[in-house]
Amino acid sequence: MRGIISAAGYVPYWRLDRAEIAAFHGGRGRGHRAVASYDEDSTTLAVEAARLALHAAPGVTPETLWFATSSPTYLEKTNAAVVHAALRLPTSTAAFDAGGAVRSGVGALRAALRSGEAATLVASADLRIGLANSPDESAGGDAGAAVLVGDDSSGPLIAELIGSASATREFLDRWRTPGDARTKQWEERFGENHYVELGLQAFAAAVADAGLEADQVHAVLVAGPHIRANGAFAKKLGRTPGVAIADAVGNTGAAEAALQLATFLELAEPGETVALVGLSDGADVLIFRTTDAIVDHRPLRPVNDQIQAGNGSLPYAKYLSWRGILPLNPPNRPEPARASASAAGRNADWKFGFVGSKDRSSGAVHLPPARVSFVGGAVDDMEPLPMSDAIGTVVTFTIDRLAYSPSPPVIFAVVDFDGGGRVPLEVCDTTPDQIAMGDRVEMTFRRLNSSDGIANYFWKARPVRGAATSTAAQEGSR
C-alpha cells in the first residue's frame, strides 16, 4: 500500500489581526492571518514544516524531496536544495522545486503518491502577499506543510491512498507576473463556474476509483486560492469542509492542501475516509483512509497548538514593511555584504544544517565546527555534532538598536545548549520586553538578510513554546 507516513504543518508565530487592516482602510475585519516574520520566506517555512514531519517518522530517509511554492525565493536556482541542506538529507536524496503555480502544492503530493519510491518528502509553503487592502492581504496566510509519502515498507502508514482523480482545463482565473506582489483575478463568477464543475467531476471519479459511494467519504477538505469557489463546491456537494483554519491562518496558497491534510490527520481516528480536494486551475482529488497507526501520530507541534500560540499584536504598518509593501527608510549603517558562495559551500553543514563539532578527546563542543580544539588543542580529532534540535538557555542577552537589521532592533543572546556547547545568536519570534536570562530556546532556520539577490540563510534561536522540537529519545534516532 502507498500513503502517508507522517504529516505536519508550520504556522509562523506572528498574526495580523484583520481588524488592524480594516482600521486603516475601512470596512470590517474578522479573525487573523498568519504572517511569516521578516526573516522567514517560503523556503524557511518549508524547512520548519519538514523538520516536524521527519521528526514524527524517525529513521525514514526520503529518496526525493519536492518543494512546492508560488512564492519562491529563487528562480533558476533550486530552492529545494536549501531545504535539503537544512534537513541534512543525504546527498543521494534528489531535491526539486515544483514552483510557480499554486496547483504545484497538491500536484507534488499527487506525484509522490503515484511514484514508486519507498519514501518521498513533499514540502510546500507560501507567503500570500498582495497589495495593501487587497483580498489576498486579508484572506491570505503564510504557512508551510510537509507530507512524508511512502510505502508501508518504509514505516507504518497513518493514511493510505485509496483513490484519486484529476481534471484539467485551461481558463484564466488568477494570474501574477513574476516579481509582482499583486495577483490579478478575472471576474470571480467565471472561475467559480469552472471550479464547481471540474471539482464535482473529479470528486465523482475519485470516489469511483476508491470503490466507494460518495456518502462513505467521512470528510472533505477543500483547498484552493478561489475562496468563493471552494465554498460553492462544498455547498454543491452538500458538505461542510472538514478543516476550518481560514479565520485563524488564512488561505495559504500552495501549502493549503497539505496544511489542511496535516491538520485533519492530527485529530483523525482510525478508519476515517477523507477526500482532499484541490481546486486550482483544475481539480485534484486524493482520497485517503486512516489506519490504526494514526493513533500513534501525535505531532510535536499540532497545527491547532501553533494557531493558539500565535502573537496577534503585529501592527499593520510593520506587516506592510516586512513584505516590502511599505518600504522603510533603512538605518544609516552599511548594508551587509553578500554571503560568499564558496565560503558558504565549504561551511554548508554549519550554515544550513547547524552542525558543529565535538572534540573526541576533551568532549568540548565547537560552534561553529573547528579543526583544532579550544580545550587541549587536539587537531583534526572532531566528530560532527548536529545541533539544530538542541535546546538551550539564554545566559545573557542584549537589544541592539544600532545594528543593521531588516526589522530592528536585533535581539541577541548567548545560548548554552543542554549537553554542552555555546553560541551567541539572534533571537527571533519574541520582543525586547519578553526576553530574559534563563529563557529556554530552540533553533529555527531563518533568512538573516539578502544582498545582491542572495538569501543569507542561517539559524536563530526562538523561545520554546509548547513541546520542544527535540526529545532525548528522538535525538538519537536522527
Partner 1 sequence: MASHGIKDRVAIIGMGCTNFREHWDKGADDLLIEAAQDTYASAGIGPSDIDAYWFGTAQSAMSGVPLAAALKLENKPVTRVENFCATGSEALRQACYAVASGAYDTAMAIGVEKVKDSGYQGLNAFPIPNDGTNRTLTAAAMFSLVLPAYAEKYGVDPDELRRTVARIASKNHYNGARNPRAQFRREMDVDAICKMAAVAGKLSVMDCAGVADGSAAAIVCRAEDAHRYTDQPLYVKALSFVAGNGSGLLDPAYDYTTFRECQAAADDAYAQAGITDPRSQLAMAEVHDCFTPTELVLMEDLGFSKRGEGWQDVNAGVFDLGGELPINPDGGLKSFGHPVGASGLRMIFEAWLQLRGEAPEERRIQTADRGLALTHNLGGYPGEMVSFVGIWGNQLG
- Residue ranges that bind partner 1, judged by CB under 8 A: 332-334, 336-340, 343-344, 346-347, 350-351, 364-368, 374, 395-404, 410, 412, 414, 416, 420-426, 437, 448, 456-458
Is the Cα dihedral 363, 368, 373, 378 positive or negative? Answer: positive
Q: Of 210 and 394, which CB lies nearer to partner 1 in the complex structure? A: 394
Minimum CB separation of residue 16 from partner 1 in Å reads: 27
Minimum CB separation of residue 47 from partner 1 in Å reads: 16
Q: Of 240 and 396, which CB lies nearer to partner 1 in the complex structure? A: 396
Question: Which residues are 168's β-sheet partners?
Answer: none
- Rounded to an integer, what distance in angstroms lies between the CA atom of residue 227 and that of residue 237? 16
Minimum CB separation of residue 456 from partner 1 in Å reads: 4
Question: Which residues are 382's β-sheet partners?
Answer: 359
- Say which amino acid occupies 193: N
Query: Which of 316, 320, 312, 250 lies closest to 20 in space, CA to CA?
Result: 316
Q: Of 177 and 329, which CB lies nearer to partner 1 in the complex structure? A: 329
Minimum CB separation of residue 332 from partner 1 in Å reads: 6
Q: Of 132 and 454, which CB lies nearer to partner 1 in the complex structure? A: 454
Minimum CB separation of residue 459 from partner 1 in Å reads: 8
Helix axes 104-113, 256-267, angle to 10 degrees: 60
Grid cell 463556474 is found at 193
Minimum CB separation of residue 83 from partner 1 in Å reads: 17
- Rounded to an integer, what distance in angstroms lies between the CA atom of residue 275 and that of residue 457? 37
Minimum CB separation of residue 393 from partner 1 in Å reads: 10
Q: Of 7 and 364, which CB lies nearer to partner 1 in the complex structure? A: 364
Q: Of 103 and 446, which CB lies nearer to partner 1 in the complex structure? A: 446
Minimum CB separation of residue 344 from partner 1 in Å reads: 4
- Rounded to an integer, what distance in angstroms lies between the CA atom of residue 305 and that of residue 467? 10
Supply φ then ψ for residue 401, to 5 degrees: -95, 0
Question: Which residues are 404's β-sheet partners?
Answer: none
- Rounded to an integer, what distance in angstroms lies between the CA atom of residue 157 and that of residue 293? 7
- Rounded to an integer, what distance in angstroms lies between the CA atom of residue 265 and that of residue 147? 11
Minimum CB separation of residue 411 from partner 1 in Å reads: 10
Minimum CB separation of residue 59 from partner 1 in Å reads: 30
Question: Which residues are 32's β-sheet partners?
Answer: 17
Helical H segments across 117-253, by residue range: 135-139, 188-209, 227-237
Q: Of 77 and 228, which CB lies nearer to partner 1 in the complex structure? A: 77
End-to-end alpha carbon distance in the chain:
25
Cα within 13 Å of Cα(366), Cβ side: 23
Q: Of 117 and 416, which CB lies nearer to partner 1 in the complex structure? A: 416
Residues 6+ apart with CB under 8 A from 451: 335, 336, 337, 338, 339
CA angle, residues 459, 462, 464, in degrees to nearest 5: 130
Q: Of 95 and 367, which CB lies nearer to partner 1 in the complex structure? A: 367
Q: Of 208 and 437, which CB lies nearer to partner 1 in the complex structure? A: 437
Q: Of 231 and 408, which CB lies nearer to partner 1 in the complex structure? A: 408
- Rounded to an integer, what distance in angstroms lies between the CA atom of residue 365 and that of residue 283? 52
Can you read off the three cell numbers belonging to residue 180?
Answer: 509582482
Query: Which of 62, 214, 256 lies closest to 149 in space, CA to CA?
Result: 62
Minimum CB separation of residue 460 from partner 1 in Å reads: 11
How much of the chain is helix, strand and coil, in % rounded to 5?
A: 25, 30, 45
